[in-house]
Every structure is written in structure tokens, then in C-alpha cells.
A and B are shown apart, each in its own frame.
Chain A
Amino acid sequence: MSNRAVKVDYLARVEGEGSLLVRMKDGSVSDVKFRIFEPPRFFEAFLRGRKYSEAPDITARICGICPIAYQMSSVHAMEYAFGVKVGGQLRELRRLLYCGEWIESHALHIYMLHAPDFLGYDDAIQLAVDHPDAVRRGLRLKKAGNDLVAVLAGREIHPINVRVGGFYKLPRRRDFDEILEKLKRARDEAYETVLWTATLPFPDFEYDYEFVALSHPDEYPFNEGKIVSNKGLTIDVREYELVFHERHVPYSNALQSTIKSPRPAEQQTSTTDGRGAYLTGPLARYNLNFEKLSPLAKKAAEEAKAKPPILNPFKSITVRAVEALYACDEAIRIIENYEPPAEAAVRYEVRPGFGFGCTEAPRGILYHRYLIGADGLIKDAKIVPPTAQNQRMIETDLRNFVTSNIQMSKQDLTLRCEQLVRNYDPCISCATHFLKLDISEETVT
């Protein structure tokens, strides 16, 4: 009998809080555990008793990479509760803000985190030594996204300008002069990025996923739409908890999400029966909404031979590049058509009730649900981030990939498993960032 184990402590910053374990026994996979730490549980409790208007800025603190997503899902949920409709230029500005976050998040992931895997480097530092021009291109692209967020949100890290009903302060037309030129350059570099990522060597791996994303009749989804899948799901955001089920697994403090089985409980053979795991994120958005991309983004996809359906999750790096290109294109469109609205926010009255919001964070759908009291205080909050939703799918991918590549050396298999997890750009460490350290240096106590 032979036993092998692939174990990766992903989150060295917080040892043991983010890790992956794959066990093999007698030539087959016996166990897969992908363990993550999930900040929203803390924030759900923290939000109770706070004023509804604090939710956007508090939830923005959950993730240093995608604060806009948390702000957007929370304001949409509050607006649902209060019966507020945000349209016209205010709605466009929200899309513009989301463009900035997608550009910076996708550029970070493509160049700093994922590309080194494909090219055989341990990290972005080695990539920068051998391919400095590529890394600089990535950093310029990322900075264009950061600067766009800074113009709209007051600052690029932990933005503060978003509120229920709109914004605290509106940009003037001339505020966009500088960023518009940067975005035009960024659009060219995003196009190059699409073609560059398409040259990377992709492992041969496909799966018949259930892709879940927002879908809107008129636009590539950021803030609004129905939740749909390629397996027949079409629901309103308010129906989310009727269809998606969260369950606790003992080895992770994040709840795993699944789609409930359409079959009656008595006909199910196990807790994993039914549709189960699903994939949310760029690959899902892209496969479900490709026709809503701009002509330029579609042209790049065609040139990169990356038209949907794409069922290989490693190709998500190219999909992110196409989405970054689309976000540049969309941002330019919005800025060129911008006319400052008369008011920075829609007026509304606070009323008690439930509010539901779901928007497309860079790494997938982010669901918020709040119960607001007549006093405007939050009585209950529920937040389901995309990484928690993808957790079960990541485990499924790992199991399938290892099973198909059982002959691979442990070292190669470990690297591939890490790369596979990174296909999802998981938000494991988004609320922490400290360093592991065990060296002898000058000490003062």
C-alpha cells in the first residue's frame, strides 16, 4: 500500500488558516480539503446594530483588493429594502467605479500571481527579473485601474465616496481628463495582455461546470441582472437563498456553497446529490455573457482563439485579460458620455425590511442580505463572498486533476495544484497581511 500527500500551506501569513491537502492512496485520490478563513462571518456580527448607511464603508474593509464590490452589493441591498432605483449617470458612474476595480484586480492577478505559474517561476520577483517589460506593463495597467478608483471614490484604497442612493460627491467632467488618456493607453496594453496570456502553456484539463453569473439583457454584468447558469438556472437576486445552500465543513471555517438539488430530498442519495458545486467568476461571466462584451474585447478574444465556451479553468487568465480590456473600453465609453447629474444621490426614505444585493466582484458573484429595522439599524446581515462559493468547486477540480495526473511527481503535482487553486483568484487572505518571520536581527524589547 502506498500513501502520498500534497500539502500546501497557502496562507503563510496566517499559518494554517488557508491550506490545501490532497491525499492519495493506492493510486487514487482519497481525500481533498481546501481550507480557507472567511472574514465575512466576523463582519456579519459586527454589522448588527450599526446604521444601514455604515454598511458600505464597513464591508469595504473585508477585502483590500475588491472593496468596491462589497460597497456595491451593500448599497444595492439597502436600495432594494428602501425601494430606491438608481439610474442614468449615477448608475453609469457605478459601472465606471467597478471598471476600475476589475482592471486593478485582474492586472494584479494576471501578472503578479498567475503568470509566474505558467512560466515556471516561483513568484513575480523572478518573472520581473526575466520579463521586466511584461511586469511593468502589468503594473501600468493596474495603476490605471487604481487611478480610476481614486478619481471616483476619493482614494484608491478603501474608497469612501459610495453611499446608498449614489455618491457623496460627484466628479466634474474635467476630473476625468487625465485618467481618460491613461485608460486609452491601458486599453492598448490590455489588448497586448490578452494576446500574451494566450501564448502561455495551458495544462490539458476540462470539466463540465455549472457556471453561475449575473446576466443583464443590455450589458456585460457588473451591478445588476438575474442570477443565471448554463444548466437552466434563472432567478432574481432575492431568491438566492432559496437556491443556494451553505453548509459547514469541519476543516474550514468558511461555509461551502452548493446549488440545491432540484430533486425532492427523499430521492437524493447523499448530501452531495444534485447539482452541487458550481463555478462563479470570470470564466462563468464570460461563457454566459460573451455577446455583451464590446466589439474590441470580442475581437481580442477571437485573435487569441479564446472564444467561448471555455471549459479549461487554466484559461481563466486569458478571460481575465479580456475582461480587463472590456473594463478599459467600457470606462472610456462612460467617461466620454459623462454629463454630471443634478444630484449626487437619489433621495429616499428609510423603511424597515429585507434588502438583497448581488454584484459581480472580480472573482465572482458577491451576495449581501440585510434586515433593516424601522430605526435604520441593521438587525441581521448575511454576506456570501465568491471564494466561499467556489470552495467546493476548487476541491472538485483538485480531485479530478490529481486523479488524471496521478503519475506526476509530487513536486510537479504540488505546483499544478497551486496553479489550479489560483485559477479562482481565491480571496483567502483578503483581510490580513502580516509576515511570517523567524530570523535573528537586532532586537529591542
Chain B
Amino acid sequence: MDRKRQATTPVSSSAACQGAERIPVTIVGIGNEFRGDDAVGLAVLRGLAKRVPAGARTVELTGDQTYLLELMRSTDAIIMVDAVQSSAPAGTIFRVEVSEEPVPKDFISFTTHTIDSATAVELARALGSLPGSVLIYGIVGKEFSFTPNMSPEVEEAVEIVRERILSDMDTVLSGVIQGRKRDTSDM
């Protein structure tokens, strides 16, 4: 991995949240590239940026996840990709749609220092700023110590998730278009 390049590649798009028009679809890769399998969300996203259709933006999120609240306020649909801890085998992929149902309780973790992505979703729901579509991809990891390398099983899941997200895009985008038409006809 080219550490210098990784350290200086822009990883977030703040301009997208500063008064610009709503983005139809936002895909967020969440992770820490220094902590083994925790990098999987970023790895998925880095291979997706040039493959997503018009109307979708990709955002890497490596730190404070309250930023997700900003992203959710400025998009019609959001897809999050994150590493998860589970008793399932490493590389297992979970796909959860949470726009209508609460994030499963086991998704919500607890920390003294910031909020996690599942909490950000529920916070947005409580504040009435949840997008119409919220999809979470969780990839089970097994190695979260400080290392720049992911486990082979998790590496294998990366391209599968990318393909799944790309195949989701038609449905998600058409849902956004339908939603916008409804909003317009209601006015």
C-alpha cells in the first residue's frame, strides 16, 4: 500500500454538504486503514468511485461518524459499508435495509468518545432527517489490531460487495426518482 498516497488522498466531500442540492445517492465507506479488517469499508469504496452511475457520490469516512448525520441530511438514499464483529465467519456479508425498521440492536455499539454509524442512523431517525433509503453492508472481520493488511477472507468479500452495491444502484436510484416525483406531485 502506498502510505503517502493514502495519507493525502481527499477522503471526504464537505462541499457536498454545504448548501449544495440534494444528492440522489451517497455511498459511504467507513473504516480505518491502519486496523486490519476495519479497512474493508474504505477498500470497497476506493474501487467503486469510478464505477458508480451519475447521481451517486462516494465518501470515505475515517473518523468522526457524526458526519454521517450531515451526509444523511443532504441525500435521498445512503448506502454504508462498514466492518462488523460477529460470531459469523470472517468475510460474511450482511445487508440490512433500515429506513423503515430500526437498526438491529446488535448493530448498536457503545463508545465513550464518539458515536457509531448505527447510532448516527437512529439519531437521524429521531430528528426526522433519515433519507428515504438507508442500506448498510456489514462485512465480518476477524483481525482488528494495528496492521495495514486485511485478512484474505475479508479481501475476497471486497469485490463481492462492490458488485452488490452496483446491482443495488438501479433499484435505489429508481426509488429516489419515484420519491421525488411523489414529492413534486404533492406540492
List the B side residues contacting A39 at CB < 8 Å: 34, 146
CB neighbors of B among A399-445 (8 A): 418, 421-422, 425-439, 441-445
A154-B106 Cα distance, complex, nearest whole Å = 36
Separation in Å of the A393 CB from the closest CB of chain B?
Answer: 15
Instruction: Check A125/B123 contact, CB under 8 A, given A157-B61, A433-B32.
Output: yes
Closest chain A residue, CB of each to CB of B139:
A434
A124:B123 contact, CB within 8 angstroms = yes
Give 18 A-B pairs besides A10-B111, A108-B115 with Cβ atoms closer than 8 angstroms.
A10-B112, A11-B112, A13-B85, A46-B34, A58-B3, A125-B126, A128-B123, A147-B18, A157-B61, A158-B62, A158-B63, A178-B18, A428-B111, A432-B32, A433-B65, A439-B86, A443-B93, A443-B94
Q: Interface size class for chain A?
A: 35 or more
User: Which of the residues B35, B89, B115, B138 comes within 8 Å of A124, measured between beta carbons?
Assistant: B115
Q: Quick check: is A344 within 8 A (CB to CB) of the other chain? A: no
Separation in Å of the A377 CB from the closest CB of chain B?
Answer: 14
CB neighbors of A among B1-58 (8 A): 3-4, 7-8, 10-12, 14, 18, 30-35, 37-38
B63:A67 contact, CB within 8 angstroms = yes
* Residue interface mask A101-129, B partner, CB < 8 A = 1: 00010001000110000000001110011
A11:B141 contact, CB within 8 angstroms = no
Q: Quick check: is A376 within 8 A (CB to CB) of the other chain? A: no
Give how many B residues have a beta carbon under 8 Å from the other chain's beta carbons: 66
B62:A61 contact, CB within 8 angstroms = yes
A209-B57 Cα distance, complex, nearest whole Å = 50
A155:B11 contact, CB within 8 angstroms = yes
A157:B62 contact, CB within 8 angstroms = yes
CB neighbors of B among A138-157 (8 A): 139, 142-143, 146-147, 150, 154-157
CB neighbors of A among B66-91 (8 A): 66-67, 69-70, 82-89, 91
A156-B13 Cα distance, complex, nearest whole Å = 9
B67:A157 contact, CB within 8 angstroms = yes
Separation in Å of the A12 CB from the closest CB of chain B?
Answer: 4
Closest chain A residue, CB of each to CB of B86:
A437
Q: Quick check: is A330 within 8 A (CB to CB) of the other chain? A: no
B93:A132 contact, CB within 8 angstroms = no
User: Which of the residues A42, A429, A433 comes within 8 Å of B112, measured between beta carbons?
Assistant: A429
Q: Quick check: is A57 within 8 A (CB to CB) of the other chain? A: yes
Instruction: Check A429/B140 contact, CB under 8 A, given A13-B85, A112-B66, A444-B164.
Output: no
User: Which of the residues A13, A61, A128, A150 comes within 8 Å of B126, measured between beta carbons?
Assistant: A128
B113:A443 contact, CB within 8 angstroms = no
A113:B85 contact, CB within 8 angstroms = no
Closest chain B residue, CB of each to CB of A108:
B66
User: Which of the residues A65, A158, A441 comes within 8 Å of B94, measured between beta carbons?
Assistant: A441
B8:A160 contact, CB within 8 angstroms = yes
Instruction: Check A156/B85 contact, CB under 8 A, given A58-B7, A444-B164.
Output: no
List the A side residues contacting B10 at CB < 8 Å: 154-155, 160
Separation in Å of the A171 CB from the closest CB of chain B?
Answer: 14
